[in-house]
Structures are given as structure tokens and as C-alpha cells.
Amino acid sequence: MPKIGETAPDFELLNQDGKSVHLSDFRGKKVVLFAYPKAGTPGCTKQACGFRDAFPKLESTNVVVLGISPDKPSDQLKWKKKEKLPYDLLADTEHRVLEQWGAWGEKSLYGKKYFGVIRSHWVIDEHGVVIDEQLNVKPEVSVAEAVKTLGA
């Protein structure tokens, strides 16, 4: 699991259009990578739309936003269109990247234990170094903290 001050491990995932995306494709730009449990659910929509609403300001300061979840690319594309999300959504259907980044783990709902996505975000600088990490964060806090870290 990458920590603040460490180089973010590279990965390759498919986006909502089925195109391959590498984290290293964005060297030279700052990146907000946010992990969300499921496209179209209330908390995930709040987080994703928060980043959508902040996107013009972020983009003008050389920031890229990427969402990551275990959803299939087709489900992400449908959600992206519905919510007019201006950034890529990455499909980690086998949750290997989510596990590597510490955003996959045991959760509890109404006393039942299960494994799933732990809502999180990371901010990565132009050199690929993690400068902010928020694990198990509320949707609105995720957006506010990422924007604050970036000074946007």
C-alpha cells in the first residue's frame, strides 16, 4: 500500500470505453485517484459528482481525476453518461489494484461482514509521489480534502 511520500505503484486498467489506462500515463500532471464501491449508488454518486463539480478548477491547475471501482466498464460508461462525469472511470473487476492500494477490505453492514471497496482517495504529484491519502473517507470529505491538498 503506497504511503505519503512514496512513489505510487503503476497499474494498468480498462476505462469505461474499454481502453487501457496506465497511471504512469499521467506523469507530469497531478492525479486524484478515488476508489468507490459501486457506480450509481448514493454515496458514490455524491463523491463522483463532487469531483465533477470541482473538475473545471482542478483541470485548469493540471490535475487529472480518475475513479476506480470493481464495476465492469459498461456499467461505468452508463453511469458516466448519466452523471456527465468528465473524467475516466477505471474497472478493477478483480480488485487487485484496490487491494494493492489498501482500498479493499472487510466491511460490515447491519452486522454482516463482507469484503468490498473502502471509499478512499489519493493525490499524486507530477513526479508520481503520493502527497495525500484518505482511507475510509466520507464522500463529501474526500472531495474537500483532495481539493484542499491541491490548493485548487
49 flagged as catalytic: no
In this structure, is residue 94 part of a structural domain? yes
Selecting among 31, 32, 44, 103, the annotated active-site residue is 44
Question: Is residue 26 in some structural domain?
Answer: yes
Indicate whether 14 pLDDT > 70: yes
Quick one: cell of 5?
Answer: 511520500
Domain annotation covers residue 7: no
Look at residue 107 in the predicted model and tell me its pLDDT.
83
Mean pLDDT of 90-99: 97
- Residue identified by cell 497511471 is 23
Q: Are strands 30-35 and 63-69 parallel, antiparallel or unpaired?
A: parallel
**Count of domains forming the chain:** 1
Q: Provide the mean pLDDT of the chain.
A: 95
Place of cell 512514496: 6
Domain assignment of residue 4, yes or no: no
pTM of the model: 0.94
The closest alpha carbon to 53, from 143, 150, 146, belongs to: 143
Residue 79 forms part of a structural domain: yes
Q: What is the pLDDT of residues 31-52, one digit of tens each?
A: 999 999 999 999 999 999 999 9
Residue 152: pLDDT band with limits 50, 70, 90: low
- Banded model confidence at residue 53, pLDDT cuts 50, 70, 90: very high
CATH number at residue 144: 3.40.30.10
Tell whether 98 is covered by a domain.
yes
Task: Domain of residue 22: give its range.
Answer: 12-150
